[in-house]
Amino acid sequence: MYLAPTGLGEVYKLSVHAASPVYYFGLTEEEARRQGGIKRDLIKWKRRPVPRRGDLLAAHVVCAYFPTDYLGRGKGTNHKIHWIPAAPNRSAIQIDLIITEEAVGTIEAAFKSNGRRLEEFVLLPNGHGVAVVSSRVPEWQNEDFLLRGGPDFANVAFLADDPKGGDRSEIIILPIPPKDGGPLVLRELWGNHVPADFRVPFGTGIITGGPGAVSSASRKMGSPHRDSKKTSARMH
């Protein structure tokens, strides 16, 4: 299975293999070739073993956050997309990818009592199930960022109070590299181009890069949510 950021599937992807507990987040083969054959793997880690059935636990692989105040405008023209409603302003949607031996009915029943929802479930050939689970983070601390470009990459501001509102054109993925056994934590923000003389608001984070911004940002980011360092996903 492959996970790819919105609009960047030809550049970055996360590879999840049923037969291996080692996962990779990095450049696609095509993008690495376009950049002169550079190293593809930006992040590599080993997930924890999948807990046995009946423990109501799962191996936590990905924890992704979509803060409402940084969402772009949805394009609901593709009927194959499974859309998840946005959370209220100053909150976020949390998406967890877990691997478990529990049956799909057990997962649905366990999540009914804690406000989480099973969005998708895929049974792998080895008998493990991959579940996509959504929940809300009711109080999200917004953090604005400016991506400083260069000769071939424009400056982009990711602002909660963007004058253009939800009409945003640029996207950035901010990853936190996990330790073995933990989940890859991601944040998706949408922003807009700003001029070179843009006056950076006080408290705005600065990311330098361009094509390498995703890897440079990963060394600066702290954990956005107190539960993101758990090594297993608890269902009850």
CA dihedral 104, 77, 91, 185 (to 10 degrees): 60
Q: Which of 81-85, 95-99, 171-175, 176-180 has the highest mean pLDDT?
A: 95-99
Lowest-confidence pick of 26-35, 43-52, 100-109, 192-201: 26-35
- CA nearest 39: which of 50, 55, 28? 28
Instruction: Provide the residue ranges of all domains of the chain, joining segments of one domain with +.
Output: 2-75+84-222
Nearest to 185 by CA among 43, 51, 72, 84: 43
In which band, very low, low, confident or very high, does the pLDDT at 224 lie, cut at 50, 70 and 90? very low
Residue 149 has pLDDT above 80, yes or no: no
Instruction: Find where tokens 């499974």 sit.
Output: 82
Q: How far apart are CA 203 and CA 199, in angstroms?
A: 12
Q: When comparing pLDDT for 126 and 230, which is higher?
A: 126
Band the pLDDT of 209: cuts 50, 70, 90. Answer: low
